Amino acid sequence: MKLEINNKYCIRCGLCEDLYPDLFKRNFEEHCIDVLHEELPAELEERAKQAVADCAVAMIRLVK
């Protein structure tokens, strides 16, 4: 499993970083949000699902 952010519409509100610093990090140079794990560790999967639900504009996806 892998987390993906749709950068075209992500509003960079940073909510995901605040709530899930183990999954996301704000990238100030590129003005975007970096996903921290290429491949999501199994123990973070539940948190990742929550992050998908919490995103302000539904731009986080959990993909196979």
Partner 1 sequence: MGKTVKVDVAVMGSGVAGMGAAYKLVQAGVKDIAVFEKYPAQGGAVSNCPMMFCSTPDTPEAQKAAYEVLARFSNYDGNMNLISKVVKYSSEFPRIFLEELGIKCMIKVDRDPADYGNKRAYTQGHANGIDVGDYYFLEGRGKGHAMALALLRMRINLEKAGVQFFFQTPIKKIVKTGDKVTGAIAYEKDGTEIDIQCKALIVASGGITGNMEMMKEEGVINVDPKFEEVFEEGKQVLITFPDSCQDGDGQKAVWEIGGKKTAMVISADPEVPNPGVRIGPNTPWLNGNQIKVVTEMPWMRVNEQGKRFINEEMSNQHTAMSRAYCKQSNMHGYQIFDEDTVKRMEEEFDENYVYFIFKGAKLSGLREQMDASIAKGNKHMCHFDTIHEVAEYMGINEANLKETIAKYNKAAEEGYDPDFHTDAKYLHPIREESGHIYCFRIFAGAYDTMGGLAIDENANLLDINNQPIEGLYGAGDMVTGSFYGEPTSNAGGTVYGAMTTGLLAGDSAAAYVRENF
Tally the C-alpha atoms within 13 A of residue 2's C-alpha that lie toward its C-beta: 7
Q: Could you tell which of partner 1, ligand SF4, none binds residue 1, using a CB distance below 5 to 8 A set by kind?
A: none
Rounded least distance, CB 58 to ligand SF4, Å: 8
Query: Which of 4, 13, 34, 61 is the binder for partner 1 (CB under 8 A)?
Result: 13
Q: Which runs of consecutive H residues, i.e. helices, occur in 1-64? A: 15-19, 45-54
- State the Cα–Cα distance between residues 8 and 62, nearest whole angstrom: 17
Site for partner 1 in 14-33 (CB under 8 A): 14-15, 17-19, 21, 26, 28, 31-32
